[in-house]
Amino acid sequence: NIDHYATFQSVYGIETTEEHRLTYMQSQANVESIPKSILVVGKIRDYIYCEDCGKRRCVYSDKSLTYEEQEDYQQALNSYSYSCGAPIFPDDHYLKEVVFVQREDLVTPPQSLKERFKQIYPLCEGCQENGKEFYTKGEIKTNRHSIKRHKHK
C-alpha cells in the first residue's frame, strides 16, 4: 500500500525505533488491559494498597469470586507485594484475566523505555515522586550497529 508504507529507498539506512512495530504496539495494548464494562462500582470486589505510595486501589472482577478463587486471590496477595501499575498476579496465574486493578493518575513512560522494552507497566505520580522506577519486561533485542553497507557501483 503506497499510501501507508514508505519505499525501501527512502528508509534504507535510517535508524528506526520500536514505537510503530506492530508486535510492540500489541504488547503495550495487552499490558493487563481491563474491559471497560468491569470498571463500575458494583464490580468492586476488594481494595489493595500500594506498598510504595500507600494509595488505595479498587480491585474489580466481572463476577463474584468463587470460594476457591477468593482463596487463590488471598494467597497471591500474601505472596506478592503490590505496587501501583504492576500486575497483581504473575503472567501464568489464571486470575490474571479475572481480577483487575484500575490504574488512573498514571505517568506516561519515557520514549527511551518504550524503545527498549516490550512491556512497561504504568507508574502513578505518587510512586514516581517516592523514587520508584517503571517496571519493565522483555528487553527488545536490536542489532543497531551491524547495518551492512553495500558498495555502490
Question: What is the chain's Cα-based Rg?
Answer: 20
Cα angle 84-103-111, degrees, rounded to a multiple of 5: 80
Cα angle 106-140-124, degrees, rounded to a multiple of 5: 10
**Residue 67 pLDDT > 70, yes or no?**
yes
pLDDT in tens, 18-28: 565 555 554 44
Beta bridge mates, 136: 120
pLDDT score for 26: 47
**Residue 81 pLDDT > 80, yes or no?**
yes
**Residue 110 pLDDT > 80, yes or no?**
yes
Q: Are 47 and 81 in contact (CB under 8 A)?
A: no
> At CB < 8 A and 24+ separation, what contacts does 14-19 make?
15/144, 17/111, 17/114, 17/115, 18/114, 18/115, 18/116, 18/140, 18/142, 19/111, 19/114, 19/115
Taking alpha carbons only, the member of 82, 80, 88, 96 closest to residue 132 is: 82
pLDDT score for 153: 39
Mean residue pLDDT across the chain: 78
pTM value? 0.58
Beta bridge mates, 59: 46, 101
| Residue in the structure block whose three cell numbers are 488512573 | 104
